A and B are shown apart, each in its own frame.
Chain A
Amino acid sequence: MRKNIIIPLVLLVVLALVFNCFFLDKIIRAALIKTGETIFQARVEIASLKTKFSNLSITISGLAVADKNNPMRNLLEIKNIYFGIAPRPLLEGKFIIEKVELSGIITDTARKNSGALPPKKMKKIARRTSPTILDKLWEKSAPELRKTAAFAAWREIKNISLPDIQDKVQALETLQTISRIKSESEKKISDYETAGNNLSVTEIIKETTENVNAARDLRINNVNDIPVAESLIKRLQNNQQKITSTAAELARLKNSLSADLTANDYLQQINQARDKDYQNTLGKVNLAGLTTPAAIGQSLLGPVWMGKIDRAIYYFSLVRNYFPKKKNPSKPRLVLPRRRGQDFVFPRKDWWPKFWIKKVVVDGMIAGTDFSGQILDITSDQDAINQPTLAKISGKSKSGYLLIEAIFDYRGERDINKVKIVLNGLPQPEYDLAAGIKLTGERMDSDNLFLLAGSSFSAILAARIIHPEFRGSPDDWWLKYLQNIPVLDLSVRAEQSAGSFKIDFRSNIDQILKQRIGDEIGATIAAYRTKIQQEIDRQVKEKQDELFGQVEGRKKEILARYNSEIQNIESKQKDIERAIEETRARIQSVAGKQIDDKKLKELKSLLGH
């Protein structure tokens, strides 16, 4: 032993006192801040921390925990925290605290600076903490559940005012169809014309007329003229054949043309194209989405309530992470990994767990309502004290009340975590909904139950907002349909089991919108549809009439020509027949007279005259 032990001893005591006075508080404060930041993954600030050795107490003032999801807001602030550690159990390394007093709790306060941790620190924390299966499943399912397809379509519709129909009704397919029909019909008409020309009706008639005139002018005086007459008859007969076949061809062409190029054929094509144009124009205005606001409630309100479930899952995961693992009864020793080596945790012979806060007394303010309550038995070993952790906090204001009850029971085979939050008649906070729209109201009643039992999570949230008020940007013209709603009811049921998350979101907002839109916009949309139809008809009618006029006109022209030619041919046929008859008659008369004279001469010769 050193001879001069007094000085080192005094030095040591002085050092211990100096350490206690100047450094111990700072060290504990830094440790608490570090632990808090690891748990909440956001800045934790402590204004002051004082330890007192006389009664082993710690007083913490000005604790602020930032909200990691909203760095410019605090999750909560606590004005004062006071607790004392029981000395006897401390000798055994056990921290038993009879009572912790948390006073002046307020939530969701504004911060002067951001409460987000630097990225380097967050990476370190992320390395130390691992997401639970529940976290992973929620992260996987959440994007699917947050889909707002219907809402996005609504958001794009600036308005449904009608003046811009002209812009929408353009490049109609019907007009192209009419143009096509026109060129096709022109070609057909041209073909008919060409076919008619190819018959050379004029030449045939001219030839026939010449032959008929020749027959009329022919002198048959004696039998020597008969052969000439007979050849003329042959020519007339040839003409007759030609004319007959030409007449038949003309008749065929006429019938074909009459049956072809009818309005009915074109109308069917034009009407089909017109219907298509109508649907396409409607599609440009996206009226279909407007009239069927599917899942608008979920799209609009869902994110806020999904946020509550997000939070519940986050806090449940926190509790799970930091609640001591249940000892396996078959293994009398628990082995916990540490930074260096492993800790063997042996069973305690007496009933003190290693850490136990018997009672936490809280008071503060939420949503303008004073509350108070207590949390019992926060401990590292619920089996040792055979009690779950219970919380009951209640508050009352002039208009309503709040009640928070929770139980965290890790004693059985399956841990049970249950939190019930009832808010009734309290002022409605302002909610940030989707697409920058805000929701406030006169008051809100809500009943929320979150349950995590083993690996199954479920949440039942119901809310009723009296006289809700939606506020958005000027682009949100459709919010007028959500004004003057007396009550907004919504309920969300979330369930996780067997590797999947299911959410059932119900709200009366869909029905309200549908009805109001149906009433007002329905008539407007019908009128708008009619106007679209009328505009299409107007543009189409002009071209359609032009087409029909043209086609009919040309068709009539050609048919008239055919008719005239047929008439000419028919009259020529009669002329030919008459000419042939007359010429034959004259031949017969001349031939008959010649025979009679010959016979008379023969008779006279016989009689000797």
Chain B
Amino acid sequence: MFFVSALKSILQLLHSNNSPRQISLAIALGFILGISPKGTLGALVIFLILFFFKVNFSAAILSATFFSLIAGLFDIIGGPIGYALLSADFLYSFWRAVYNLPIIPWTKFYNTIVLGNFLVGLILFYPLLRLVELLVGIYRREFARRLEKTRLLKIIKMISLYNLYEKFGG
């Protein structure tokens, strides 16, 4: 049921009125949120950005959920990056200064995964943004109308209607 629900959400998103830019922004932000360890100030800040800015919230949550599941793969890349940066001698005084600032320690930037994955997220943010935007555009131009007519979409729409009926009906 989870996959059906997720598939339904994705299709709804693709067939919604949100612009490709909005969708791609949501997915990119969700990506950063997903690969970062939770319980940090940074994650909370990203969450608040999603909340307060014009970003498709459900897309962002869907993206964050998906990338959380595969966050371990990014740890393999982010961890060593974070370690290298935190242990670098030339950055020592910088890190020490930041460590002693108020509030900043709550971001847990001093954790190798937090720092490393955040940087990976930042680096991949724009390419992901552009890629998703492109893909959404292509989908809407080439496949949306065709898919509207397929049985699959009709079934999914029916499931949604059925779920609504079950929820609110007798």
Contacts and interface: CB of A to CB of B under 8 A. Distances in A.
Residue from A91, A335, A341, A344 having most chain B Cβ neighbours under 10 A: A341
Interface of B: 37, 48, 51-54, 75, 79, 82-83, 86-87, 92, 95-97, 99-103, 105-106, 108, 110-114, 116
A359 B82 CA distance: 38
Contacts of B82: 341
B110 A346 contact: yes
Given A8-B51, A8-B52, A342 B101 contact: no
Interface stretch (A34-42, A130-138, A347-355, A567-575): A347-355
Contacts of A349: 96-97, 100
Interface in A87-102: 91-93
Contact of A344 (B75, B86, B101, B103): B86
A346 B93 CA distance: 10
B95 to A, nearest CB: 6
Interface in A1-37: 1-3, 5, 8-9, 12
Given A5-B52, A340-B37, A342-B83, 6 more contacts: A3-B54, A92-B102, A341-B75, A342-B111, A344-B110, A344-B112
A2 B96 contact: no
A1 B52 contact: yes
Nearest to B48: A12
Given A2-B53, A346-B99, A349-B96, A340 B105 contact: no
A343 B116 CA distance: 12
Contacts of B106: 93
9 contacts: A12-B51, A92-B100, A92-B105, A341-B82, A341-B111, A342-B112, A343-B110, A344-B87, A344-B111
A334 to B, nearest CB: 10
Interface in A534-592: none
A309 B28 CA distance: 59
A365 interface: no
Nearest to A340: B113
Contacts of A143: none
Contacts of B100: 92, 346, 348-350
B113 A1 contact: no
A338 B96 contact: no
Given A92-B101, A349-B96, A341 B52 contact: no
Nearest to B103: A91
Contacts of B101: 92
B37 A332 contact: no
A48 to B, nearest CB: 25
Contacts of A9: 52
A433 B53 CA distance: 71
A345 interface: yes
A5 B110 CA distance: 33
A338 B111 contact: yes
Contacts of A93: 105-106
Contacts of A332: 92
Interface string A87-123: 0000111000000000000000000000000000000
Q: Which 4 A-B pairs have the closest CB atoms?
A: A341-B113, A93-B105, A91-B102, A341-B112
A333 interface: yes
A217 to B, nearest CB: 142
B83 to A, nearest CB: 7
Nearest to A9: B52
Nearest to A350: B100
A1 B54 contact: yes
Contacts of B113: 340-341
Contact of B111 (A5, A12, A91, A340): A340
A335 B52 CA distance: 37
A1 B101 CA distance: 29
A3 B54 CA distance: 8
B82 to A, nearest CB: 7
Interface in A299-343: 332-333, 335, 338, 340-343
Nearest to A5: B52
A19 to B, nearest CB: 13
A2 B54 contact: yes
Contacts of B86: 333, 344
Contacts of A5: 52
A407 B53 CA distance: 55
A166 to B, nearest CB: 81
Contacts of B112: 341-344
Contacts of B97: 349
A341 B54 contact: no
Contact of B75 (A8, A333, A340, A347): A340
B61 to A, nearest CB: 14
Nearest to B47: A12
A6 to B, nearest CB: 11
B106 to A, nearest CB: 6
Contact of A347 (B96, B108, B111): B96
